[in-house]
Structure 1
Amino acid sequence: MITDAAPVDRRARIQGNVDLCIALAGSGGGIASGLVMTATSYATLGITGGLLALAVIPFVLMRTRT
């Protein structure tokens, strides 16, 4: 969707940047979850992940109402 909306002459560069951001987010999430698991427990990791997922709901609702 992002590259489809981009000008043709910039699509490859934008796709590369998007791929980089996705890879960094995935590796950062893996590192963070490993640190949480080491410091606490799987239950804490699950609860934290659930709370973060729930925190997105108000932003989605605000976005759909405008």
Structure 2
Amino acid sequence: MASRNWSARTSGAISRGSAHCCLIRRIIATELVQTVRNNSGTDWWRPENVRAKMRVVVKQILQRHG
């Protein structure tokens, strides 16, 4: 049933390739938000360490889905 709804919602302007890209972007965005929320801490003594850890995690996610 999902495939019928999918084909009914897609118009001629949207191809399956661009829809696939949107899906991948949504997955990456969701994963980034979850990771940032889980790893964000208030380390007031060393905020640069928190930022560095976030950068590493973001790079890993982007490489995984790259």
With the length of structure 2 as denominator, give the TM-score of the two structures.
0.48
> Of Structure 1 and Structure 2, which has the larger fraction of its residues in helix?
1
With the length of structure 1 as denominator, give the TM-score of the two structures.
0.48
